């Protein structure tokens, strides 16, 4: 039996077991004493901090899996046939994907979009720049190839080619998501 670690499914006691088969072979888990009836288990971390327990390998993978790539040519076509309306959804979704990958509440696409209208588009340009910097931050965190497109997307935005800025940022996000 182990001290305070309870089964995450049924709340029973757990015992430390080493996995002997499957993809997790060699990893240690606090396994529910009701195993195999109950499949509840929590990975044993070296420094066994609570935050680490909950930020296990599996949850990290789930967090990444919540964001999926978006079809850039389709999104461009949809933007054109809706006279730009679709780009609102795209902008807000892109900001949401960045926030998820950063595991933070910022950026908030909806408020950035509204503030963009209120500032006659100036804030939107700032967002293109900011979002690209966030993408760099995610690339560094994931140890992926860093590609800083912030200046390019800002200049494209200034010249009214925001849709290309969106496509470039989406392309970087797609690369990050597909790498997993």
Instruction: Give contact residues for Zn ion (rule: CB under 5 A).
Output: 7, 9-10, 12, 32, 34, 38, 40
Sign of CA dihedral 162, 151, 179, 20: negative
Nearer residue to Zn ion within complex by CB, 19 or 163: 19
Q: How many alpha carbons lie under 13 Å from residue 67 in its C-beta half-sphere?
A: 26
CB of 1: closest distance to Zn ion in angstroms? 13
Cα dist from 103 to 1, 97, 155, 158, whole Å: 34, 10, 28, 30
Nearer residue to Zn ion within complex by CB, 12 or 108: 12
Nearer residue to Zn ion within complex by CB, 38 or 144: 38
CB of 54: closest distance to Zn ion in angstroms? 17
Nearer residue to Zn ion within complex by CB, 31 or 127: 31
Strands in 14-18's sheet, in edge-to-edge order, are 14-18, 28-32, 41-43
CB of 33: closest distance to Zn ion in angstroms? 7
CB of 17: closest distance to Zn ion in angstroms? 13
CB of 25: closest distance to Zn ion in angstroms? 22
CB of 40: closest distance to Zn ion in angstroms? 4
Nearer residue to Zn ion within complex by CB, 37 or 104: 37
Nearer residue to Zn ion within complex by CB, 17 or 102: 17
Q: Give the containing element (helix H, strand E) for 7.
A: none
């Amino acid at each position: 039996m182990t001290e305070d670690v309870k089964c995450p499914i049924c709340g029973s006691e757990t015992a430390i077991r080493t996995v002997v088969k499957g993809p997790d072979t060699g990893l240690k888990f606090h396994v529910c004493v009701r195993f195999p009836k109950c499949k509840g288990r929590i990975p044993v971390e070296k420094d066994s901090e609570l935050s680490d327990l909950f930020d296990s390998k599996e949850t990290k993978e789930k967090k990444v899996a919540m964001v999926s790539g978006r079809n850039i040519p389709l999104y461009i076509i949809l933007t054109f046939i809706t006279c730009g309306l679709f780009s609102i959804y795209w902008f807000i979704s892109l900001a949401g994907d960045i926030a998820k990958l950063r595991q933070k509440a910022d950026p908030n696409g909806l408020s950035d979009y509204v503030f963009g209208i209120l500032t006659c588009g100036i804030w939107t340009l700032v967002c293109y720049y900011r979002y690209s910097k966030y993408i760099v931050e995610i690339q560094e965190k994931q140890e992926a190839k860093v590609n800083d497109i912030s200046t390019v997307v800002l200049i494209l935005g200034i010249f009214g080619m925001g849709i290309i800025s969106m496509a470039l940022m989406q392309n970087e996000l797609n690369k990050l998501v597909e790498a997993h």
